[in-house]
Structure 1
Amino acid sequence: MPTIILRTSINAPIGHCFDLSRSIDLHLQSMKSSEEKAIAGKNSGLIDLDESVTWSARHFGISFEMTNKISKLEYPTFFIDEMIKGPFKKLHHQHQFTIIDAQTEMTDVFEFQAPFGLLGWLAEKIFLKNYMLKLIEKRNKMIKFQAEITY
Protein backbone atom coordinates (compact mmCIF):
# COMPACT_ATOMS: atom_id res chain seq x y z
CA MET A 1 0.00 0.00 0.00
CA PRO A 2 1.48 3.39 -0.97
CA THR A 3 2.44 5.72 1.86
CA ILE A 4 3.25 9.39 1.43
CA ILE A 5 5.10 11.20 4.21
CA LEU A 6 5.29 14.96 3.81
CA ARG A 7 6.73 17.46 6.30
CA THR A 8 5.91 21.16 6.11
CA SER A 9 7.50 23.83 8.34
CA ILE A 10 5.22 26.72 9.22
CA ASN A 11 6.12 29.92 11.01
CA ALA A 12 2.95 30.05 13.12
CA PRO A 13 1.69 28.59 16.43
CA ILE A 14 0.82 24.91 16.55
CA GLY A 15 -2.86 25.45 17.47
CA HIS A 16 -3.35 27.86 14.58
CA CYS A 17 -1.84 25.36 12.10
CA PHE A 18 -3.89 22.52 13.59
CA ASP A 19 -7.13 24.47 13.18
CA LEU A 20 -6.34 25.59 9.63
CA SER A 21 -5.68 21.99 8.63
CA ARG A 22 -9.19 21.06 9.90
CA SER A 23 -10.83 23.94 8.05
CA ILE A 24 -13.33 22.77 5.45
CA ASP A 25 -13.37 26.28 3.93
CA LEU A 26 -9.57 26.42 3.49
CA HIS A 27 -9.54 22.89 2.05
CA LEU A 28 -12.10 23.95 -0.54
CA GLN A 29 -9.97 26.97 -1.48
CA SER A 30 -6.93 24.75 -1.96
CA MET A 31 -8.84 22.30 -4.19
CA LYS A 32 -10.61 24.78 -6.50
CA SER A 33 -8.86 23.30 -9.54
CA SER A 34 -10.65 19.98 -8.98
CA GLU A 35 -14.03 21.70 -8.46
CA GLU A 36 -14.21 20.25 -4.95
CA LYS A 37 -17.36 20.87 -2.91
CA ALA A 38 -18.56 19.76 0.52
CA ILE A 39 -21.97 18.27 -0.23
CA ALA A 40 -22.98 16.46 2.99
CA GLY A 41 -22.07 16.25 6.65
CA LYS A 42 -19.92 19.05 8.02
CA ASN A 43 -19.68 21.45 5.10
CA SER A 44 -17.96 24.53 6.58
CA GLY A 45 -15.90 25.58 9.58
CA LEU A 46 -13.63 23.24 11.53
CA ILE A 47 -14.28 19.52 11.35
CA ASP A 48 -14.05 17.77 14.71
CA LEU A 49 -13.85 14.30 16.23
CA ASP A 50 -16.48 11.87 14.91
CA GLU A 51 -17.68 14.36 12.30
CA SER A 52 -17.70 13.50 8.62
CA VAL A 53 -17.78 15.37 5.33
CA THR A 54 -18.74 14.17 1.89
CA TRP A 55 -16.67 15.72 -0.87
CA SER A 56 -17.58 15.95 -4.53
CA ALA A 57 -14.64 16.56 -6.87
CA ARG A 58 -13.41 16.06 -10.40
CA HIS A 59 -10.12 14.23 -11.02
CA PHE A 60 -8.88 12.84 -14.34
CA GLY A 61 -12.06 14.23 -15.92
CA ILE A 62 -14.23 11.98 -13.72
CA SER A 63 -16.58 13.10 -10.92
CA PHE A 64 -16.03 11.40 -7.57
CA GLU A 65 -17.71 11.47 -4.17
CA MET A 66 -15.87 10.54 -1.01
CA THR A 67 -16.92 10.62 2.65
CA ASN A 68 -14.20 11.08 5.27
CA LYS A 69 -14.55 10.93 9.03
CA ILE A 70 -12.30 12.26 11.80
CA SER A 71 -11.63 9.07 13.77
CA LYS A 72 -9.03 10.40 16.25
CA LEU A 73 -8.19 13.89 17.44
CA GLU A 74 -5.81 15.15 20.11
CA TYR A 75 -5.69 18.95 20.04
CA PRO A 76 -3.27 20.43 18.92
CA THR A 77 -0.92 17.60 17.96
CA PHE A 78 -2.74 14.89 16.03
CA PHE A 79 -5.79 13.89 14.08
CA ILE A 80 -6.73 11.16 11.63
CA ASP A 81 -9.22 11.31 8.81
CA GLU A 82 -10.29 8.12 7.10
CA MET A 83 -12.39 7.44 4.05
CA ILE A 84 -15.56 5.61 5.04
CA LYS A 85 -17.09 5.65 1.56
CA GLY A 86 -15.56 6.48 -1.80
CA PRO A 87 -13.32 5.56 -4.70
CA PHE A 88 -10.40 4.03 -2.80
CA LYS A 89 -10.17 0.60 -1.25
CA LYS A 90 -8.52 2.34 1.71
CA LEU A 91 -7.54 5.90 2.61
CA HIS A 92 -6.02 6.80 6.01
CA HIS A 93 -4.52 10.26 6.61
CA GLN A 94 -2.61 11.09 9.80
CA HIS A 95 -1.98 14.77 10.52
CA GLN A 96 0.80 15.31 13.09
CA PHE A 97 1.93 18.64 14.55
CA THR A 98 5.09 19.32 16.56
CA ILE A 99 7.00 22.40 17.61
CA ILE A 100 10.57 22.53 16.30
CA ASP A 101 12.73 25.62 16.87
CA ALA A 102 9.73 27.94 17.37
CA GLN A 103 8.06 26.69 14.19
CA THR A 104 5.29 24.18 13.69
CA GLU A 105 6.19 21.09 11.73
CA MET A 106 3.12 19.61 10.08
CA THR A 107 3.61 15.99 9.04
CA ASP A 108 1.19 14.15 6.80
CA VAL A 109 1.26 10.37 6.73
CA PHE A 110 -1.06 9.45 3.90
CA GLU A 111 -1.80 5.80 3.14
CA PHE A 112 -4.12 4.68 0.39
CA GLN A 113 -4.98 1.69 -1.72
CA ALA A 114 -6.66 1.80 -5.10
CA PRO A 115 -9.41 -0.68 -5.94
CA PHE A 116 -9.33 -3.10 -8.88
CA GLY A 117 -6.54 -5.44 -7.77
CA LEU A 118 -3.61 -5.56 -10.18
CA LEU A 119 -4.94 -2.65 -12.28
CA GLY A 120 -5.23 -0.52 -9.13
CA TRP A 121 -1.74 -1.51 -8.05
CA LEU A 122 -0.37 -0.46 -11.46
CA ALA A 123 -2.23 2.86 -11.27
CA GLU A 124 -0.69 3.47 -7.83
CA LYS A 125 2.81 2.85 -9.16
CA ILE A 126 2.48 4.65 -12.49
CA PHE A 127 0.67 7.87 -11.55
CA LEU A 128 -1.64 7.82 -8.52
CA LYS A 129 0.98 8.15 -5.76
CA ASN A 130 2.54 11.18 -7.47
CA TYR A 131 -0.88 12.70 -8.12
CA MET A 132 -1.89 12.33 -4.47
CA LEU A 133 1.44 13.83 -3.35
CA LYS A 134 0.82 16.90 -5.54
CA LEU A 135 -2.67 17.35 -4.02
CA ILE A 136 -1.31 17.18 -0.46
CA GLU A 137 1.52 19.59 -1.34
CA LYS A 138 -1.00 22.04 -2.82
CA ARG A 139 -3.16 21.83 0.30
CA ASN A 140 -0.15 22.29 2.60
CA LYS A 141 1.06 25.36 0.68
CA MET A 142 -2.35 26.93 1.24
CA ILE A 143 -2.29 26.08 4.97
CA LYS A 144 1.26 27.46 5.33
CA PHE A 145 0.42 30.65 3.46
CA GLN A 146 -2.78 31.26 5.44
CA ALA A 147 -1.14 30.44 8.79
CA GLU A 148 1.80 32.75 8.21
CA ILE A 149 -0.21 35.74 6.96
CA THR A 150 -2.84 35.51 9.71
CA TYR A 151 -0.41 35.06 12.60
Structure 2
Amino acid sequence: MSSTYVLERAQLIPRSRDEVFAFFADAGNLQMITPPWLHFRILTQLPLEMRTGALIEYRLRLYGLPIWWRTRIEEYEPCERFVDRQLRGPYKRWHHTHEFSETPAGTLMKDTVRYQLPFGPLGTLTHRLTVQRLLKRIFDFRYETIERHFAAAQVL
Protein backbone atom coordinates (compact mmCIF):
# COMPACT_ATOMS: atom_id res chain seq x y z
CA MET A 1 0.00 0.00 0.00
CA SER A 2 1.32 3.45 -0.92
CA SER A 3 1.71 6.15 1.68
CA THR A 4 -0.70 9.06 1.41
CA TYR A 5 0.96 12.44 1.74
CA VAL A 6 -0.79 15.70 2.52
CA LEU A 7 0.34 19.14 1.42
CA GLU A 8 -1.48 22.05 3.05
CA ARG A 9 -1.05 25.70 2.25
CA ALA A 10 -3.00 28.82 3.22
CA GLN A 11 -2.71 32.32 1.84
CA LEU A 12 -4.48 35.50 2.85
CA ILE A 13 -5.26 37.60 -0.21
CA PRO A 14 -6.44 41.17 0.48
CA ARG A 15 -9.21 41.00 -2.13
CA SER A 16 -12.87 40.00 -2.22
CA ARG A 17 -13.75 36.33 -2.31
CA ASP A 18 -15.59 36.83 -5.63
CA GLU A 19 -12.45 38.26 -7.25
CA VAL A 20 -10.10 35.64 -5.83
CA PHE A 21 -12.38 32.74 -6.70
CA ALA A 22 -12.86 34.03 -10.25
CA PHE A 23 -9.07 34.10 -10.70
CA PHE A 24 -8.66 30.47 -9.59
CA ALA A 25 -11.74 29.26 -11.45
CA ASP A 26 -10.14 30.46 -14.71
CA ALA A 27 -8.06 27.48 -15.86
CA GLY A 28 -6.03 29.84 -18.06
CA ASN A 29 -4.40 31.27 -14.93
CA LEU A 30 -2.80 27.92 -14.07
CA GLN A 31 0.03 28.65 -16.47
CA MET A 32 0.79 31.96 -14.69
CA ILE A 33 1.03 30.36 -11.24
CA THR A 34 3.12 27.38 -12.37
CA PRO A 35 6.93 27.76 -12.43
CA PRO A 36 8.30 28.35 -15.93
CA TRP A 37 10.90 25.58 -15.50
CA LEU A 38 8.02 23.06 -15.68
CA HIS A 39 7.14 24.20 -19.24
CA PHE A 40 3.46 23.84 -18.28
CA ARG A 41 0.88 24.07 -21.08
CA ILE A 42 -2.87 23.67 -20.96
CA LEU A 43 -4.00 21.46 -23.84
CA THR A 44 -7.75 21.90 -23.28
CA GLN A 45 -9.27 24.63 -25.39
CA LEU A 46 -9.83 27.80 -23.41
CA PRO A 47 -11.90 29.43 -22.11
CA LEU A 48 -13.13 26.42 -20.19
CA GLU A 49 -16.44 26.45 -18.36
CA MET A 50 -15.45 25.51 -14.83
CA ARG A 51 -18.05 23.13 -13.39
CA THR A 52 -18.39 19.72 -11.81
CA GLY A 53 -17.28 17.18 -14.38
CA ALA A 54 -15.03 19.56 -16.36
CA LEU A 55 -11.91 17.88 -17.75
CA ILE A 56 -8.61 19.71 -18.06
CA GLU A 57 -5.59 18.36 -19.94
CA TYR A 58 -2.06 19.65 -19.41
CA ARG A 59 1.44 18.90 -20.51
CA LEU A 60 4.61 19.71 -18.63
CA ARG A 61 8.26 18.71 -18.67
CA LEU A 62 10.19 17.63 -15.64
CA TYR A 63 13.90 16.90 -15.93
CA GLY A 64 13.38 16.96 -19.70
CA LEU A 65 10.69 14.27 -19.63
CA PRO A 66 7.21 15.08 -20.98
CA ILE A 67 4.32 14.43 -18.60
CA TRP A 68 0.68 14.44 -19.69
CA TRP A 69 -1.86 15.15 -16.99
CA ARG A 70 -5.66 15.04 -17.00
CA THR A 71 -7.81 16.24 -14.11
CA ARG A 72 -11.53 16.22 -13.49
CA ILE A 73 -13.34 18.80 -11.40
CA GLU A 74 -15.03 16.58 -8.81
CA GLU A 75 -16.80 19.35 -6.89
CA TYR A 76 -17.54 22.92 -7.80
CA GLU A 77 -19.22 25.33 -5.40
CA PRO A 78 -18.84 28.90 -6.73
CA CYS A 79 -17.00 31.25 -4.36
CA GLU A 80 -16.63 28.44 -1.80
CA ARG A 81 -14.49 25.60 -3.12
CA PHE A 82 -13.59 23.28 -5.91
CA VAL A 83 -11.83 19.94 -6.02
CA ASP A 84 -9.77 18.48 -8.83
CA ARG A 85 -8.68 14.86 -9.09
CA GLN A 86 -6.03 13.43 -11.37
CA LEU A 87 -7.38 10.92 -13.88
CA ARG A 88 -4.04 10.49 -15.66
CA GLY A 89 -0.65 11.76 -14.63
CA PRO A 90 2.48 11.18 -12.60
CA TYR A 91 0.80 10.34 -9.30
CA LYS A 92 -0.99 7.22 -8.19
CA ARG A 93 -3.47 9.60 -6.56
CA TRP A 94 -3.80 13.41 -6.64
CA HIS A 95 -6.80 15.04 -4.96
CA HIS A 96 -6.58 18.85 -4.63
CA THR A 97 -9.14 20.85 -2.64
CA HIS A 98 -9.20 24.63 -3.07
CA GLU A 99 -11.22 26.47 -0.38
CA PHE A 100 -12.06 30.16 -0.14
CA SER A 101 -13.41 31.95 2.92
CA GLU A 102 -14.02 35.61 3.72
CA THR A 103 -12.12 37.30 6.51
CA PRO A 104 -12.03 40.96 7.60
CA ALA A 105 -8.63 41.24 5.86
CA GLY A 106 -9.70 39.65 2.55
CA THR A 107 -9.95 36.08 1.32
CA LEU A 108 -8.31 33.11 2.99
CA MET A 109 -7.45 30.57 0.31
CA LYS A 110 -6.55 27.06 1.45
CA ASP A 111 -5.06 24.28 -0.64
CA THR A 112 -5.12 20.71 0.58
CA VAL A 113 -3.50 18.13 -1.66
CA ARG A 114 -3.70 14.44 -0.84
CA TYR A 115 -1.43 12.41 -3.03
CA GLN A 116 0.22 9.02 -3.42
CA LEU A 117 3.16 7.98 -5.54
CA PRO A 118 3.35 4.79 -7.56
CA PHE A 119 6.01 2.07 -7.10
CA GLY A 120 5.56 1.27 -3.39
CA PRO A 121 8.83 1.58 -1.42
CA LEU A 122 10.60 3.16 -4.41
CA GLY A 123 7.86 5.82 -4.49
CA THR A 124 8.39 6.47 -0.78
CA LEU A 125 12.12 6.94 -1.34
CA THR A 126 11.47 9.19 -4.35
CA HIS A 127 9.12 11.30 -2.24
CA ARG A 128 11.80 11.78 0.40
CA LEU A 129 14.57 12.54 -2.10
CA THR A 130 12.79 14.74 -4.65
CA VAL A 131 8.99 14.97 -4.77
CA GLN A 132 8.47 16.60 -1.38
CA ARG A 133 10.99 19.36 -2.16
CA LEU A 134 9.70 19.74 -5.71
CA LEU A 135 6.13 20.32 -4.54
CA LYS A 136 7.36 22.83 -1.96
CA ARG A 137 9.17 24.77 -4.71
CA ILE A 138 6.08 24.69 -6.94
CA PHE A 139 3.74 25.91 -4.21
CA ASP A 140 6.26 28.52 -3.04
CA PHE A 141 6.38 29.89 -6.60
CA ARG A 142 2.59 29.86 -6.72
CA TYR A 143 2.35 31.75 -3.41
CA GLU A 144 4.79 34.44 -4.54
CA THR A 145 3.11 34.82 -7.95
CA ILE A 146 -0.32 35.20 -6.34
CA GLU A 147 1.10 37.80 -3.92
CA ARG A 148 2.54 39.82 -6.83
CA HIS A 149 -0.54 39.44 -9.01
CA PHE A 150 -3.02 40.66 -6.43
CA ALA A 151 -0.69 43.40 -5.15
CA ALA A 152 -0.24 44.69 -8.71
CA ALA A 153 -3.99 44.45 -9.35
CA GLN A 154 -4.67 46.39 -6.15
CA VAL A 155 -2.51 49.34 -7.22
CA LEU A 156 -4.70 49.96 -10.24
Task: Show the counterpart of 2:145.
Answer: 142
Structure 1: segments with no counterpart, 5+ residues = none
Task: Show the counterpart of 1:116.
Answer: 119
Task: Show the counterpart of 1:132.
Answer: 135
Matching residue's letter, 1:96: E
C-alpha distance in structure 1 between counterparts of 2:147 and 2:47, whole Å: 19
C-alpha distance in structure 2 between counterparts of 1:124 and 1:35, whole Å: 21
C-alpha distance in structure 1 between counterparts of 2:104 and 2:145, whole Å: 22
Query: How much identity, in percent, do the aligned residues show?
Result: 19
Q: How does the TM-score come out when normalised to structure 2?
A: 0.86
- 8 Å Cα contact 2:75-2:82 kept in structure 1: yes
Matching residue's letter, 2:75: K
- 8 Å Cα contact 1:58-1:64 kept in structure 2: yes
Aligned pair partner of 2:14 in 2, 11, 15: 11
Pair 1:38 & 2:42 matched = yes
Q: Which structure has the bigger radius of gyration?
A: 2
- Secondary structure, aligned partner of 1:19: helix
Matching residue's letter, 2:100: F
Aligned pair partner of 2:89 in 78, 86, 90: 86
Residues 85-127 of structure 1 deviation map (CA, whole Å, 9 limit, x = unaligned): 1111000000011122231111100111111111011111222
C-alpha distance in structure 1 between counterparts of 2:46 and 2:59, whole Å: 11
The runs of 4+ residues in structure 1 deviating greater than 4 Å are none
Shift of the 91–80 alpha-carbon distance from structure 1 to 2, 3 Å rule, reads same
1:45 CA displacement: 5.1
Q: How does the TM-score come out when normalised to structure 1?
A: 0.89
- Secondary structure, aligned partner of 1:66: strand
Shift of the 19–140 alpha-carbon distance from structure 1 to 2, 3 Å rule, reads farther
- Give the number of equivalent residue pairs: 150
- 8 Å Cα contact 2:28-2:42 kept in structure 1: no
- 8 Å Cα contact 1:21-1:143 kept in structure 2: no
C-alpha distance in structure 2 between counterparts of 1:78 and 1:149, whole Å: 24
Moved more, 25-34 or 112-121: 25-34
Pair 1:69 & 2:72 matched = yes
Residues 50-77 of structure 1 deviation map (CA, whole Å, 9 limit, x = unaligned): 1111110011221100101111011111
Matching residue's letter, 2:41: K
Structure 2: segments with no counterpart, 5+ residues = none
